[in-house]
């Protein structure tokens, strides 16, 4: 009763805690990353790139970050466990020259290398320093409505030799992959197998009745 009625009321009645939880849930796409296949190129410490994809509430955890190695560039290859509609991005770094200054997004190009970043990006953002993870960069949703692999290229920072990122937030909607595949299969194979199955099942059904 009461629990169900709650939440249907107007948004302004909600208390702060719930609003924060809802905001956190909006940034839940990190849960949909295929972490086994997540790559961060030019990370100084192996596996550190993966740590920046974490709950929104934990974005202030400064013990987890990725730093670039040879130069200021970083490139993330992020495969999702389904299809994602990407709506927004947060990039949080230090309030200094190590903060990335530009972000380029590519969609559905698995295993991108730095050579591949010569391609034209789907969208490019000029980043402001954001030490608290407060700035949200909205994507052109039409371009990012069916993303199963996202590459994030950080070509430069504000002048330091290396780039540091503490948190990357990804906001959007996720759809299970297999549903999509099932639709395609049924559509392509609608004529034969389905008819066959029906023929086999029908006689038995009559027999039982």
3-state secondary structure 51-94: HHCCCHHHCCCCCCCEEECCCCCEEEEEEEEEEEEEEEEEEECC
pLDDT of residue 23: 76
Quick one: which of 65, 81, 95 has its CA closest to 28? 81
Average pLDDT, the chain: 85
Residue 189 binned pLDDT confidence (cut-offs 50, 70, 90): very low
pLDDT tens digit string along 19-36? 777 777 889 999 999 999
Reported pTM: 0.77
Residues in the chain: 209
Q: Among all chains, which residue has been given the structure tokens 């009461």? A: 2
pLDDT of residue 25: 80
136, 87 Cβ separation under 8 angstroms: no
pLDDT tens digit string along 48-84? 999 999 999 999 999 999 999 999 999 999 999 999 9
Its CATH class, for the domain covering 20-176, is: mainly beta
pLDDT tens digit string along 78-90? 999 999 999 999 9
Q: How far is CA 149 from each of CA 137, 172, 177, 204, rounded to the nearest angstrom?
A: 19, 14, 12, 46
Show me where the domains of the chain are located: 20-176
């Amino acid at each position: 009763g009461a629990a169900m009625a709650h939440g249907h009321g107007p948004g302004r009645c909600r208390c702060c805690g719930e609003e924060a939880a809802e905001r956190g849930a909006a940034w839940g796409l990190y849960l949909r990353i295929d972490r086994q296949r997540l790559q961060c190129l030019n990370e100084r410490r192996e596996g550190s790139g993966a740590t920046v994809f974490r709950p929104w509430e934990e974005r202030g955890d400064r013990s987890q970050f990725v730093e670039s190695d040879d130069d200021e560039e970083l490139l993330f290859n992020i495969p999702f466990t389904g299809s994602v509609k990407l709506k927004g991005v947060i990039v949080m770094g230090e309030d200094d020259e190590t903060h990335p200054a530009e972000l380029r997004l590519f969609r559905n190009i698995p295993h991108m290398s730095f050579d591949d970043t010569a391609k034209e990006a789907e969208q490019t953002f000029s980043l402001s320093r954001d030490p608290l993870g407060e700035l949200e960069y909205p994507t052109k949703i039409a371009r990012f409505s069916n993303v199963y692999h996202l590459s994030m290229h950080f070509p430069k920072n504000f002048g330091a030799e290396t780039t540091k990122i503490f948190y990357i937030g990804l906001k959007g909607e996720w759809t299970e992959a297999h549903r999509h595949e099932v639709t395609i299969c049924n559509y392509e194979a609608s004529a034969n197998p389905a008819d066959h199955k029906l023929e086999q099942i029908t006689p038995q059904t009559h027999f039982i009745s």
